[in-house]
Structure formats: C-alpha cells, structure tokens
Amino acid sequence: MKALKVFYEGRVQGVGFRWTVKNLARGFDVAGLVQNLPDGRVELVAQGDSEEVDAFLEAVRTSDLAGHITMENTEPLPRQAGLRGFQILS
C-alpha cells in the first residue's frame, strides 16, 4: 500500500484540473482526493497499490494537464484509513 500527497503548481486552477484528475482516477484502482489550495496550487492525495498509484500519477503527468504544470512536489503519507473512492474537495 502506498499513499502520497502531491502539490501541483502552475496554471492549475480554473482549467478543469480537478475534474480531469478525477476522471483519470477512474481508470486506476486508487482512492484519494484533489482540491484547490488558497495559494493557487492543487493538492492531490492518492492511495493504493504502489503500481496503481505510480501509474495514476504518470497518467496525470502525461495528460492534457501537463502543459499547465510547472512544478510537482510529492510527499509520502502514512496509510489513510477510511479513504474510499476519489473525491473533489473545495
């Protein structure tokens, strides 16, 4: 089991970023959330088998969103109990 928090910077708000990420998540066995932050970044939390999480994040990197991302910072997280499905917050 792998859990990560990823912060995306660039023109990542107001471009359908969260909706695209949620749609991409449907193709992977991951749980998590994505939300806009007040400082203009987007935060993504993803949890699942290591291969699924890695493949999901690679799909985000190579999607149409790639042109909007100027920086990506990833932090490991402890396993998130009770995290089910994939949600958009705020």
Give CA–CA dist 28/80, Å, rounded.
17
Q: Active site residue: 11, 23, 26, 36, which one?
A: 36
Q: Is 36 a catalytic residue?
A: yes
The count of other CB atoms within 10 Å of the CB of residue 15 is 15
Q: Are 32 and 21 in contact (CB under 8 A)?
A: no
At 44, the amino acid letter reads: L
What is the set of active-site residues? 18, 36
